[in-house]
């Protein structure tokens, strides 16, 4: 029988009507190419979890949205089930999921391929930072929920894809998960942080430029993007994700792209450290 007691919403996300000012040309990037957007980070938002954090990223230039919003909860370390095989190290499990209303295209309740890719990359990034042998026969669950995506409205209408936004989403997932692990008191070798750099077309034809914290709404063409998970104190990269086409005529672009992504992660690490210091000062 049909459920007559509730009013079901539309099957897809609805958009307000477009007016003449919404059809204006795409805005240019006003912030410098070596700057990242401001972030807000707060830990301890879920008392029932061992550790939790909430991350909010500043909205892009010309975007009507309010920026990306990500939350993370950490459960554990806790004993593994009796039926589980013996493990001398902690068993890390990551789960990344978009909220159904997070992006223009309504997400399903089951994870799709992009969300599974984010979970796999996040597990690799965090595994390199954990001191796994401190917690034998134990498991840690890291659950990340993207409440609001960073997909620009006009870009979504033009392309209908979040091909490049997923890179920024991964960087935010790494940052909020690192803060949640620190809030849970889980031993790590360093505070891992994520950063994104992209190779975009320059002002003149045939020229390219590397920018930090890329946004499709601020550039005509994004050729490639690189996202890294970086340990600043140990100067180590725990995860490297490169996507796109880099011209083969200049092999140094690969090194420069990775180096700029590392610089972006260093900026994110300062924001995480400042937020954790504020939390410690309040205790």
pLDDT one-digit tens code per residue, 177-230: 999 999 999 999 999 999 999 888 777 776 788 888 887 667 777 888 899 999
Structural domain includes residue 13: no
Q: What distances in angstroms separate CA 106 from CA 9, 100, 119, one per listed residue?
A: 11, 5, 19
pLDDT, position 35 = 72
pLDDT, position 38 = 82
User: Domain total for the chain?
Assistant: 1
Structural domain includes residue 22: no
With 60 as the cut, is the pLDDT of residue 30 above it? Answer: no
Structural domain includes residue 84: yes
CA dihedral 43, 44, 45, 50 (to 10 degrees): 120
Q: Name the residue with tokens 């370390």.
A: 77
pLDDT, position 129 = 92
Mean pLDDT across the chain, nearest whole number?
81
pLDDT (mean) for 41-50: 91
Structural domain includes residue 113: yes
pLDDT band at 243 (very low <50, low <70, confident <90, very high): confident
pLDDT, position 16 = 60
Structural domain harbouring 63 = 34-282
- What are 129's strand-pairing partners? none
pLDDT, position 151 = 59
Higher pLDDT, 181 or 164: 181
DSSP letter at 60 equals P
pLDDT, position 7 = 66
With 80 as the cut, is the pLDDT of residue 139 above it? Answer: yes
Alpha-carbon gap, residue 129 to 177, rounded angstroms? 11
Higher pLDDT, 63 or 232: 232
Structural domain includes residue 14: no
Beta strands in the chain (DSSP E): 39-43, 51-57, 69-79, 91-98, 138-148, 193-201, 208-212, 222-231, 236-244
Structural domain includes residue 7: no
Cis status, amide bond into 170, omega within 30 of 0: no
What percentage of the chain carries pLDDT values higher than 70?
78
The tens digit of pLDDT for each residue in 76-133 reads 898 888 888 888 889 999 999 988 887 777 777 778 888 899 999 999 999 999 998 8
Q: What is the CATH number of the domain that holds 249?
A: 3.30.230.70
Structural domain includes residue 179: yes
Alpha-carbon gap, residue 135 to 227, rounded angstroms? 29
With 60 as the cut, is the pLDDT of residue 23 above it? Answer: no
pLDDT band at 276 (very low <50, low <70, confident <90, very high): confident
pLDDT band at 240 (very low <50, low <70, confident <90, very high): very high
Q: What is the secondary structure of 118-183 as a DSSP string?
A: HHHHHHHHHHTTB-GGGSTTEEEEEEEEEEE----HHHHHHH---TTHHHHHHHHHHHHHHHHHHH
pLDDT, position 87 = 87
pLDDT, position 102 = 79
Structural domain includes residue 19: no
Most confidently modeled range among 7-16, 37-46, 153-162, 229-238: 229-238
């Amino acid at each position: 029988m049909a459920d007559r007691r509730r009013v079901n919403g539309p099957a897809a996300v609805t958009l307000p009507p477009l007016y003449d000012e919404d059809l204006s040309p795409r805005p240019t990037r006003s912030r410098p190419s070596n700057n990242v957007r401001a972030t807000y980070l707060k830990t301890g938002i879920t008392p029932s979890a061992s550790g939790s954090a909430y991350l909010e990223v500043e909205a892009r230039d010309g975007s009507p949205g309010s920026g990306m919003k990500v939350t993370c909860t950490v459960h554990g370390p806790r004993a593994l089930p009796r039926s589980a095989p013996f493990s001398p190290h902690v068993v890390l499990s990551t789960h990344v999921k978009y909220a159904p209303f997070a992006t223009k295209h309504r997400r399903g309740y089951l994870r799709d391929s992009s969300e599974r890719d984010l979970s796999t990359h996040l597990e690799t990034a965090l595994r390199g930072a954990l001191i796994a042998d401190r917690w034998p026969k134990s498991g840690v669950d890291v659950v990340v929920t993207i409440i609001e995506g960073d997909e620009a409205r006009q870009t979504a209408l033009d392309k209908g894809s979040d091909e490049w936004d997923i890179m920024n989403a991964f960087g935010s997932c790494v940052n909020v998960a690192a803060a949640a692990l620190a809030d849970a008191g889980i031993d790590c070798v360093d505070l891992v942080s994520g950063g994104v750099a992209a190779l975009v077309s320059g002002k003149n034809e045939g020229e390219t430029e590397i920018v930090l914290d890329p946004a499709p709404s601020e550039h005509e063409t994004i050729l490639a993007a690189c996202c890294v998970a970086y340990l600043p104190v140990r100067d180590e990269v725990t995860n490297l994700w490169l996507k796109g086409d880099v011209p083969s005529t200049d092999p140094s672009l690969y090194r420069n792209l990775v180096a700029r992504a590392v610089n972006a992660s260093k900026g994110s690490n300062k924001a995480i450290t400042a937020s954790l210091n504020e939390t410690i000062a309040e205790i």
